Every structure is written in C-alpha cells, then in structure tokens.
Structure 1
Amino acid sequence: MSSLGSENVAARTTTAVPEVGAIALGELPPQGQETYRLIRQGGPFPFDKDGVVFGNRERLLPISKRGYYREYTVKTPGSRDRGVRRIVCGGPATQPNACYYSADHYANFRRIEP
C-alpha cells in the first residue's frame, strides 16, 4: 500500500477530538479548588444542579457515552446565580478519570492536572 493510501485510512479511522489545554489544580481560582475538593469527597454541593449529566453536545471534550460527564458549579464572587464557571468530570463520581475547567460556560475547557 502506498503511503498516500495509508494516510487516507488513518484519516478515515481517527475521530477528531479538539485539543484541550491543561491547568494545574493550584492555578484554579480558590473556588475552583474548593469545587474540585468537593467532587473528590462526594459533596455536599451548594447547587442542586451540581452533579447532573453534562451532554458534551458541542463535542469540545473527548467523545464518551452519555452519562460519562457530570458538571459542577465553580462559585463566582459577586454573582447572584451560578455564574459561568464550571468543572466537568468524566468517570466515577468521586474518582473521575479526568476533570476539565471552563471559565466561560463551556466555550473553552482546560484539563485539570492534580
């Protein structure tokens, strides 16, 4: 098989996943560090919607089956509602495989490196 043919096979079999930058846990705002700690201990969470399934409809995170990702609020000082900051984790509830921080209500994500 020519190299051109193998490149075409690779292009057809690889699912495009957006690049997600990383952020160290210590670089998160203090409220994000607190939310991450609550996730790891299983709560209690300050908002009813914390822990609900995150659908990843925009496919900004690696593709996984429905129910894999859950979202959590990162409090925003001065905000009267949940604000725009979130942590989304995939995998088991208190031992997630990966967590991602969004400072802009899911427009961008950065993988949290503990």
Structure 2
Amino acid sequence: MARKWLRSGVLIGALAFGLFGNVVSGSAFARDYSASGNGGNQVQGTIAVAQLPREAVNTLNLIAAGGPYPYEKDGIVFGNRERLLPPHRRGYYHEYTVPTPHAYNRGARRIVCGGPLRRTDNCYYTDDHYSSFNRIVE
C-alpha cells in the first residue's frame, strides 16, 4: 500500500514539476523567439539542397509537384510539439517521409515544410526523427 502512495506522490510531483516547468520554459522560449527572430536558435543550422541525401531531394520534388507520395502519412500536419521550429498556428507545418535505404519502416528522416502546400522555400530536414532540424536552403 505504501508503494502505491509513493508512486502516486512521485507521479503527482512529476506532473506538477512538468506543468510548471513548461510554463517557465514556454515563456523563455517566447522571449527568445521575439528577441532573436529565429526561434531562439532552435533550428541547428542550414543545409543546402546539394548536401541532402538523394532521397530527400526526390521528396522535395514530390512536395513541389503535390505528390503522389509513397507513404500514407506524407502531407499530414506536423504539430511542432518539440518546439524546435519557429512557432506558428497548428496546420502551418506538414511533414513528409524521406525514405531510408534498407529500412523496414518509414525510418527517422523527414522533411517538414511550413506555409501553403507545394511550397518548398520554408522546409526543414531532420535525420533523427525530430530531435534536430536544419533549414533547407537553395
């Protein structure tokens, strides 16, 4: 019985800390974004189209053409829950799979584009499933 209460207390403490931690980090993030204008350097850097893997260039071409996409989830809304990309309203970002050779599933590589569909001038590349992003530049 004591373990159950202990676990509940730990859970409640973790939830409370998490909720208050998000408020603090959220306001700090907003300050960083407005001060620097780039999301507080949340994006790692840039990557030229020529530096992208061949599969990523193919995915960019599919995005510009409006598909068809090889994966059912391509084009779905990307929620930016990690808050690594500049903040925008929900529905602004869409994600697309970059095929990984020899992978048995979708793999970890994605391109996330902001703005209207079929536009590729505001896209980001991740090869670690949203842990980091590089803005794609021409």
Deviation string, structure 1 residues 63-92 (Cα, Å, up to 9, x no partner): 000000000000000001100000000001
Tell me the TM-score normalized by structure 1: 0.85
CA distance in 2 between counterparts of 1:18 and 1:77 reads: 33
Tell me the TM-score normalized by structure 2: 0.71
Specify the alignment match of 2:115 in structure 1.
91
- Residue 70 of structure 2: which of 46, 66, 75 is its match? 46
Question: Which of structures 1 and 2 has the bigger CA Rg?
Answer: 2
The structure with the greater share of residues assigned to strand is 1
Q: Which amino acid is the alignment partner of residue 59 of structure 1?
A: R
Q: Which amino acid is the alignment partner of residue 63 of structure 1?
A: P
CA distance in 1 between counterparts of 2:71 and 2:91 reads: 19
Give yes or no for the alignment of 1:22 onto 2:46: yes
- For structure 1, list consecutive stretches of 5 or more residues without a partner in the other structure: 1-10
Following TM superposition, the consecutive aligned residue runs of length 4 or more in structure 1 with deviations greater than 2 angstroms are 13-16
Greater relative CO, 1 or 2 (CA 8 Å, sep 6+)? 1
- Report % sequence identity: 54
The structure with the greater share of residues assigned to helix is 2
- How far has the Cα of 1:14 moved from its partner? 3.5
- Residue 134 of structure 2: which of 105, 110, 113 is its match? 110
Contact 2:60 2:120 in 1 (8 A): no
Contact 2:111 2:124 in 1 (8 A): yes
Paired residues in the alignment total 103
- For structure 2, list consecutive stretches of 5 or more residues without a partner in the other structure: 1-27, 34-38
